[in-house]
């Protein structure tokens, strides 16, 4: 199945078919430790409320619930939300999961913290939609609440990619994945194409992501009502620099 790079996030089959390519076993296994680090980084306290936007199958949501937070996970994908809900029930957790487009989700002053992990921000071709998401986040936070975003920043991508087409291949679980990443001249959008070969079958997928640099996303957050934005390269709070594994931005909603 081939899909365009501007609507991929809403295609259920994309997430189902490519699950092991998107979420490796080691990545899933690291979810509990990542939640513990975020809990410490944001100064979370048991009983506080957390919104996990683009939560997928809830791998972080359930871990935060286990740490004593009141968690709501939101994702556009119905089957992933159903799986997350079943996982929480099987663990005896009361994590709340909601199927919704993040552009339309706002619950005024309902959350102490909001997280968007693992490149869960920048899906939309219209940059105004990213603004809409951040404005919803600011509106959904209580005064003094915090937002954490983790993406792959322009500075990190620049170490590995060049303008135009970048091709590679790898083997994953017995499947051959031919990957092409095309970065536009402005370095604000990249389109990734996968050709997945499994025996005699071949499937093609395509998705797009907006590219943000450090200063750009800080300015964007400030324009949407956030203050005190701090950039980091790791969940232990290491400043964003040449050894960063991700661009992580922690910002707050002003206290009344």
Query: Can you give the pTM of this predicted structure?
Result: 0.95
pLDDT, one tens digit per residue, over 72-103 is 999 999 999 999 999 999 999 999 999 999 99
pLDDT of residue 6: 63
Secondary structure string (H, E, C) spanning the chain: CCCCCCCHHHCHHHHHHCHHHHCCHHHHHCHHHHHHHHHHHCCCCCCCEEEEECCCCCHHHHHHHHCCCEEEEEECCHHHHHHHHHHHHHCCCCCEEEECCHHHCCCCCCEEEEEECCCCCCCCCCHHHHHHHHHHHHHHEEEEEEEEEEECCHHHHHHHCCCEEEEEEEEECCEEEEEEEEECCCCCEEEEEEEEEECCEEEEEEEEEECCCHHHHHHHHHHCCCEEEEEECCCCCCECCCCCCCEEEEEECCCC
pLDDT, one tens digit per residue, over 157-208 is 999 999 999 999 999 888 999 999 999 999 999 999 999 999 999 999 999 9
Neighbours of 5 (CB within 10 A): 17
pLDDT of residue 1: 46
Domains of the chain: 11-153+212-252 (3.40.50.150), 156-209 (2.20.25)
The predicted model gives 116-143 an average pLDDT of: 96
The mean-pLDDT minimum among 9-23, 50-64, 127-141, 154-168 falls in 9-23
The predicted model gives 115-143 an average pLDDT of: 97
Whether the predicted pLDDT of 2 surpasses 70: no
């Amino acid at each position: 199945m081939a899909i365009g790079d501007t609507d991929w996030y809403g295609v259920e089959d994309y997430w189902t078919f490519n699950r092991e390519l998107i979420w490796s076993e080691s990545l899933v296994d690291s979810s509990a430790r990542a939640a513990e680090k975020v809990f410490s980084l944001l100064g979370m306290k048991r009983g506080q409320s957390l919104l996990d936007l683009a939560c997928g199958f809830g791998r972080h949501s359930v871990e935060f619930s286990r740490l004593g937070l009141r968690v709501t996970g939101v994702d556009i994908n119905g089957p992933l939300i159903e799986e997350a809900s079943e996982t929480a029930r099987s663990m005896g957790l009361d994590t709340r999961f909601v199927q919704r487009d993040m552009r339309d989700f706002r619950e005024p002053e309902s959350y102490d913290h909001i997280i968007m992990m693992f490149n869960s921000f920048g899906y939309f071709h219209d940059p105004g939609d990213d603004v809409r998401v951040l404005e919803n986040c600011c509106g959904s936070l209580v005064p003094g609440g915090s937002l954490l975003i983790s993406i792959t920043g322009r500075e990190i991508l620049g170490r590995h990619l060049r303008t135009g087409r970048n091709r590679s291949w790898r083997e994953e679980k017995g499947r051959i994945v031919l990957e092409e990443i095309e970065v536009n001249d402005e370095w604000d959008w990249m389109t990734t194409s996968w050709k997945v070969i499994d025996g005699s079958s071949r499937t093609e997928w395509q998705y797009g992501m907006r590219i943000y640099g450090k200063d750009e996303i800080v300015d964007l957050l400030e324009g949407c009502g956030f203050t005190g934005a701090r950039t980091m390269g790791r969940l232990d709070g290491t400043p964003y620099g040449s050894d960063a594994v991700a661009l992580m931005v922690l910002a707050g909603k002003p206290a009344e």
